[in-house]
Amino acid sequence: QVQLVESGGGLVQAGGSLRLSCVASGSIFSIINMAWYRQAPGKQRELVAAITRGGSRNYADSVKGRFTISRDNAKSSVYLQMNSLKPEDTGVYYCQTSGIWGQGTQVTVSS
């Protein structure tokens, strides 16, 4: 079983940046794809960005050009660099892999 722990959320002004981190532990040999999702208040959870073990990436249209997902396989970690943040980026951000979710980290962007 894989466990995921996120960190790096916080409160930032619009236009600012944050870097989220997610560390995996447990049966990490099974990890292939890793992804970041977010859930805004009153909305469904949505995919923000995903990355394969080989480094192929895909992004939600709303974050293209502003967010960058990366991973360090040696550290069993995935990161989300978020730049030019907007109030609509506010939400709980979750790390996900193989159907397993982290506990989430809150990101709040003030206008």
pLDDT digits (tens, 9 = 90+) for 8-20: 999 999 999 999 9
Angle at CA of residue 87, ends 86 and 93, nearest 5°: 90
User: Once rounded to an integer, what is the mean pLDDT over residues 14-39?
Assistant: 89
Q: Does 29 have pLDDT greater than 70? A: no
Residue 47: what pLDDT?
Answer: 98
CA dihedral (19, 105, 48, 100) positive or negative:
positive
User: Once rounded to an integer, what is the mean pLDDT over residues 42-52?
Assistant: 96
Contact 22, 95 (CB under 8 A): yes
Nearest Cα to 51, choosing from 37, 66, 35, 63?
35
Nearest-angstrom CA–CA distance, 37 and 19: 14
User: In this predicted model, what pLDDT tens digit does every residue of 62-74 receive, in sequence order?
Assistant: 999 999 999 998 8
User: Once rounded to an integer, what is the mean pLDDT over residues 11-39?
Assistant: 90
